[in-house]
Structure 1
Amino acid sequence: MSQQTNVSVSTQTICKIGIYFALLVVSSKVAIPIPFYDYISLQTAFIFLVYPILGAKYGSWLTVLYLISGLLGLPTFASGGGLGYIFKTTFGFLIAFTLMPFLAAIVRKGNKLFSHHQFLNTLVSNYICLIMVHLIGFCIQVFYY
């Protein structure tokens, strides 16, 4: 006898995740190579729209799917993909991107100063998360090297 689970994800949510996954891949390809470093890509801007559009739960699914698909070999990252990407200088930022929806949810819920204004609350939480993502990315990068 099998049990049914009540996991219900709307078609609209699945389409948003799929479209946003495609946008992340395309935005990662819009990259500026930097000497003695890897790339600066447009995906950083798109990753900060994940939480306001998809929320913490589905945003986390999206970022984990993005990271796993790139590590499995799909060319989703700025300079390709594969397990060798773990040893690149920007891999710490990809790990921080997977934590970003949770960080944004925590910061946004804890932000009492702009809780009455949704746009300002999102803006302030994104700036705080930008600092956190860079701190996490740099710390992991320093740990590797």
Structure 2
Amino acid sequence: MKTVMVIMVFALVLMSGMTVLAHEEGEESGTEMKMDMKNMDMKMMKQHRTMAVIAEHWTETQEALKERDWKEAGEDVAEIVEAAEELKEFKPHRNADRVLDFMKIQAVFAKRLTDLDKAIESKDAAAADKLAGSVQKSCNQCHAMFR
């Protein structure tokens, strides 16, 4: 019985010593990790909200372009352009180490949106349809790699 008690006391002392050592070596405490997880969750929630805004307005843009409702299409693209700026802050779900690729795709997406907006302003149906296809390709490419 004494041997068991000695082993238990030794194990407790050893574990508490390792905890102190871990903190001395700069490991995060449970509270700090919870705060980081909360911040990460908030950032991820923002990413999901941003993508929902883009998806909603993209669907509306496509419908407006089919109906040749230039005003509605222009308003929806403007909302997407604004939301697309937030993509610069995103951390991809997959391939997070390929940030440069993500940023290149985001830049191409933004350029295609700007070009689409110009086609809508000039009411150039052929150009708008072609550019809408290229915007969709940007979405598909990004989702295939990072979502």
Coarse TM-score class (shorter-chain normalised): 0.3 to 0.5
TM-score norm. by structure 2 comes to 0.33
* Structure with more of its chain in strand, by fraction: 1
State which structure, 1 or 2, has the greater radius of gyration over its C-alpha atoms. 2
TM-score norm. by structure 1 comes to 0.33
